Amino acid sequence: MFVSLARFTCRRSKLVLYLSGVLLVVAGALGGGVIKELSAGGFVDNSTESAKTAQVMDDRFRAGAPDLVLLISDERGVDSPAVAAAGARLTERVADEPGVEQAASYWSLGKAAPLRAEDGRQALLMARISGDEDQVQNTFKRLESHYEHRAEGLDIRVGGNALADKEMSETTEKDLIKIEAVTFPVLLVVMLFVFRSVVAALVPLMVSGLTILSVLLVIRVLTLFTEVSALASNVTTGLGLGLAIDYSLILIKRYREERGRGAETDQAIATTLRTAGRTVLFSAVTVTLALGALLVFPFYFLRSFAYAGIPTALLAAFVSLTFLPALLKVLDHRIEKGRVLRRRTPKAEDGSGEGFWHRLATGVMRFPLPVAGAVTALLLLLGAPFLDLRLSLPDERVLPAESQARQVGSDIRDDFRAQETQALNVVLDRTPGPGDRNVAPYAERLSKLGDVSRVDSEAGTFADGRLVQRPTDLSKRFGSGHSTYLSVVPSHQSLSEEGRALVQDIRDLRAPYPVQVGGPAAELTDSIDSMNARLPLALAVIAASSFTVLFLFTGSLLLPLKALILNCLSLSATLGVLVWGFQDGHLEGIVGDFVVTDSITWTVPVLLFCIAFGLSMDYEVFLLSRIKEEYDRTGDNVASVARGLERTGSMITAAAVLIAIVFLGFLISGIVYLKAIGIGLAIAVLMDATLVRGTLVPAFMRLVGKGNWWAPKPLRALHAKVGLREK
């Protein structure tokens, strides 16, 4: 197959380049505006109790978590007659807006104290907007223009979930442009050092540009059939850029090796595709399989990265195996034009010299146990903070400091006693109807739970186990037919360990009728539970697929097992650094401003693990394919490890540095968990390419010796028939 592909790209090189140009134009025209079609949510499993409760709240009560929050200020005080009258008019005005299901404020709820700031100069108005995410955004944009800054003579600042989602999408779009504008020049400079000529350095950028635009086109098509997270575009374009450069690097390096041996252009391209091209294809398959594990999770935020990431890996390989060989054919010897750096001492292009990586591998294999022990201890030390991992849903605090949603949310947390916008909704079903006597005792018991500020119900408002306000006409909103709901307002931050504990306490509390619990804390609890339920399957998919690919390359049972263990070890160290840096806040100010919440967005560890594991296995395939090639040729385990590491060490390190630069570009983003993903992936690939590949792999292979290549006789026979080789 690869020989035929080489013949086609050489004979029809100009046709391939013309078709690539057409793809570039079409993809740019159709995929360029994809960001506006992406969504900011996707963190909720629709099959969970909290999601079903949210649907019940919407269908039966036209209520739920507020989408729009107005922080109203007046120096006269919110209790002055003029301000109170204006506040009441404003509440009625918002309630009458098309698309608004429910609106309530400090004044409409009988001057409810939790909706009044402690200084008496601010009050809250909260509104629920009907429809799905797109409809909510459309309504919100209209409302924002009506109420921003001032209305009814009152100073107003708009906040809430709808604004946070809007700013998330806008920030994502701006970040993508900034990241690419900064990353590409830096990459070009670094690639001049790696490729040692201007033309050779430009080739991977051309490959990555075509890959990225093709990926955006694929994402645009995906939005026609399913929701795709806005963050998926950033991460997958970064992944596409990194993989395209990695694959270009391995192909150009092999092409130069063949040309250095005296091969003509067509022959060099054929050999490159037959050897390194095969490795590139199955490396892409490895990344694809790792990302495919995200499909087992019932959250479209995570699934989005699989929907977009899988085509990204395959497109990076496709462009590298078609466009790049055609470009090499047309360029021919001109790929060496613009030499800017030359080696001071000659070194064989085929990697046959005994350079740094050969000496490192040989030195490690002289003292395998001490080296392996020291590096393992270091990785375990770095991974120790991971044991204290605390997870949370993202809210407006993940946005940059200049974000209005973040500023308004911060003011509400600082100036208001209770978390009104974070209330839990407790739905009682199959009740006798309005006026049921069992509601009041149940509300009393709920109000006695720790960390509960108050409970609002059709039987009145309760706090600390007693009735503090009798029911009014507004209390009727809590009932609908044979159902009623109670609003449990927490006294602490809802998206926290205390919030999750409160959800469990409510669910464990004896109730007079079937009960469902919803709200932000319940969504967090159910999301983590749902993730944990699917996590073993995702890990099994990654392990099985990676094991299979490496077996096909090596014919060994021990080498794939070694790769799985070492990857998990290095990734645990990466996650430990993230906990130390973002959850504990030690990187605040170093990687940019962010709010330290004592937790990490719960999707980050899963996403990071799947992507980083795929990239790690990508490098494992590069390394083991060359070691296996040498071992098949010489039968010398120690020499094959040293020679294989010498041939690939500089290439893997260069690839890791380049892809780390891509992901470190995410630090420019104003979104906290995108920063965490970027720095996590950068640390993971650099650690894998240096500590793991440079020390642990040769130490392990020296200790095991010829057992590295062991497999039962039936599996050896199977590998002889279907195994993958670079020859």
Q: Collapsing DSSP states into helix, strand and coil, what is residue 148?
A: coil
Which residues, 6+ apart, have CB-to-CB distance to 453 below 8 Å?
114, 417, 418, 419, 463, 489, 490, 491
The pLDDT tens digits of the residues spanning 672-711 come to 988 999 999 999 999 988 889 889 999 999 998 888 888 8
* Res 334: pLDDT: 85
**162 and 68 in contact (C-beta within 8 Å)?**
yes
Q: Collapsing DSSP states into helix, strand and coil, what is residue 63?
A: coil
* Res 437: pLDDT: 87
Which residues, 6+ apart, have CB-to-CB distance to 334 below 8 Å?
199
Query: Which residue reads 């939790």 in tokens?
Result: 114
The pLDDT tens digits of the residues spanning 71-100 come to 999 999 999 999 999 999 999 999 999 998
Q: What angle do CA 18, 21, 24 make, to 5 degrees?
A: 155
Nearest C-alpha neighbor of 219 from the set 290, 319, 131, 303 = 303
Nearest C-alpha neighbor of 151 from the set 89, 81, 99, 107 = 89
Handedness of CA 468, 472, 477, 481 (dihedral sign): positive
Question: CA–CA separation, 676 vs 581, rounded Å?
Answer: 9
C-alpha dist (Å) from residue 157 to 69, 86, 89, 623: 8, 16, 17, 57
Q: Collapsing DSSP states into helix, strand and coil, what is residue 119?
A: coil
Q: Collapsing DSSP states into helix, strand and coil, what is residue 423?
A: coil
What is the overall mean pLDDT for the chain?
87
Amino acid, res. 303: R
The secondary structure of residue 419, as a DSSP letter, is -
CB-hemisphere CA count at 13 Å for 559?
A: 31
Which is it for strands 424-429 and 515-518: parallel, antiparallel or unpaired? antiparallel
**469 and 456 in contact (C-beta within 8 Å)?**
no
* Res 343: pLDDT: 54
Q: What angle do CA 580, 594, 450 make, to 5 degrees?
A: 75
Side-by-side strand order, sheet with 149-151? 100-105, 122-129, 68-73, 154-159, 149-151
Hey, which residues does 3 pair with through a beta bridge? none
The pLDDT tens digits of the residues spanning 528-583 come to 999 999 999 999 999 998 888 888 877 888 888 998 999 999 999 999 999 999 99
* Res 584: pLDDT: 93
* Res 725: pLDDT: 57
**685 and 192 in contact (C-beta within 8 Å)?**
no
Query: Which residue reads 């120790």 in tokens?
Result: 384
Q: Residues 373, 378, 382, 388: what is their CA dihedral angle, to the nearest 10 degrees?
A: 40
Hey, which residues does 428 pair with through a beta bridge? 484, 515
* Res 723: pLDDT: 65
The secondary structure of residue 303, as a DSSP letter, is H
| 235, burial (CB in 10 Å: exposed 0-12, middle 13-18, buried 19+) | buried
Whole-model pTM above 0.95? no
* Res 195: pLDDT: 85
Nearest C-alpha neighbor of 66 from the set 519, 477, 457 = 519
Nearest C-alpha neighbor of 617 from the set 515, 522, 505, 693 = 693
* Res 345: pLDDT: 46
Q: What angle do CA 664, 668, 672 make, to 5 degrees?
A: 90
Q: What angle do CA 573, 576, 577 make, to 5 degrees?
A: 90
Q: What angle do CA 568, 569, 573 make, to 5 degrees?
A: 110
Question: CA–CA separation, 549 vs 621, rounded Å?
Answer: 8
Question: CA–CA separation, 464 vs 444, rounded Å?
Answer: 8
**438 and 514 in contact (C-beta within 8 Å)?**
no
Ranges of the chain with pLDDT below 70: 341-353, 418, 723-727
Structural domains in the chain, CATH included, are: 2-39+166-394+526-722 (1.20.1640.10), 67-159 (3.30.70.100), 424-518 (no CATH)
